[in-house]
Structure 1
């Protein structure tokens, strides 16, 4: 994934993908009150000593959102980039969390998912309400030969995905980029409607939901096999700090 790629400059692809995350972020800013978290202020711009690899990690929270991450890392010489926009809601509602990951590896990779907050094996009302609407999109991409399903070799990462997660690699073309952008906005718009229509969670159940959310967020960040890429790019110490920042390990108590 991060071995040298001869004469590969995908800066324009990175900029297009980062532009998609910014469009999605604008929709969040229009809907939610968000405040920068001071624990990641020093990560707004970081790089290796040689400057070959750079990154930016910004985190936010607010009355309705417990933790939001908007970040990117890249090494242009390797044709590698990775960017995240992940939104973890507070326990006042049970709407799924929302995750976007886009990358060049150097092919286009994307992962978009509604992160479950309950047991989908038995909570059938939750399954039908939040996952049936995306099933046709999932099946559409499954049937498109341009998109190759990405199956993680790591058991927990597969466990953490819903059964309608959109996780694929594909060639970088104008058509595939346009489709990915369209699907991403569709996922965001549907989710925002759910947030607006959500019933409140009983006060007595919010602590348990918050505890579960934090456990999942931390486990996903710490068990991500791609952390080894960050180690190669930025070293173990910086990677540990970046991983803690993804789940909010350094945020003020």
Structure 2
């Protein structure tokens, strides 16, 4: 492996992590969040050979049911992944927010508003929350510098919204600037939705909360990357990481 490639990958990883940190900071400034002690041991972890380093932190609060801020980095293989997912509480029905960046070794990005209703039948929800991203979605589909990334996982494709942004591209300054701009635009739009949202009737909140938890658990357990994680970290740590993604140990004393 060319040492210069490793150095370049580390730089791209750091740049992506800086963007994700900007987003996390904005979310932290907007919401009252508290770290969850169940994932405290996962704030730093590594593979047995020490080549893959990672961290996973989770938070919750009055408005946020579960926030995940995590990363993995293997500079030797030019592979990294990081995510910020924000799962709202059931008091409103605004879509959840998802960001995932990485190097595979080309630059990878996924940004999405995760639906909380059946978009096939709830046209008001579809048009209110997804029409604003339609022009961006179509513009990126026509961008020859971006390669559409299609997951091999049936469930992952099912959970993505009709306007999800998921691409690979060369790790250029232009690509990094595009990711930064798009991510901040999506976050600011989402903040406004949260501010303007109508409350969900109390009688419906348990149903919405159950649906959210089900989606979060299945998406974590069906993540195609779990198989690679098990090879890198072993089954025990991988299972703990997966439970951290959906909050499986949050109430365990």
TM range (shorter): over 0.9
Q: TM-score, normalised by structure 2?
A: 0.97
CA distance in 2, matches of 1:14, 1:232: 22
- The yes-or-no answer on 1:81 pairing with 2:80 is yes
Partner of 1:57: 56
Partner of 1:170: 169
- Give the SS at the match of 1:153: coil
- Give the SS at the match of 1:109: strand
Deviations along 1:107-128, whole A, 9 cap, x unmatched? 0011100000000011000001
Partner of 1:32: 31
Residue ranges of structure 2 left out of the alignment (5+ in a row): none
Partner of 2:134: 135
Higher mean displacement: 203-212 or 24-33: 24-33
Q: TM-score, normalised by structure 1?
A: 0.97
Deviations along 1:170-207, whole A, 9 cap, x unmatched? 11100011001100000000000000000000000000
CA distance in 2, matches of 1:20, 1:55: 17
- Give the SS at the match of 1:148: strand
Deviations along 1:73-125, whole A, 9 cap, x unmatched? 11111111100100000000000000000010110011100000000011000
Give how far 1:229 is off.
1.8
Write out aligned runs for 1:202-217 (5 A): 202-217=201-216
CA distance in 1, matches of 2:63, 2:126: 22
Write out aligned runs for 1:186-225 (5 A): 186-225=185-224
Write out aligned runs for 1:42-191 (5 A): 42-191=41-190
Give how far 1:6 is off.
4.2
CA distance in 1, matches of 2:250, 2:13: 29
Give how far 1:50 is off.
2.1
Residue ranges of structure 1 left out of the alignment (5+ in a row): none
- The yes-or-no answer on 1:238 pairing with 2:237 is yes
* RMSD (Å), alpha carbons: 0.9
Deviating beyond 2 angstroms after TM superposition, the runs of 4 or more aligned structure 1 residues are 5-8
Partner of 2:10: 11
Aligned residues: 249
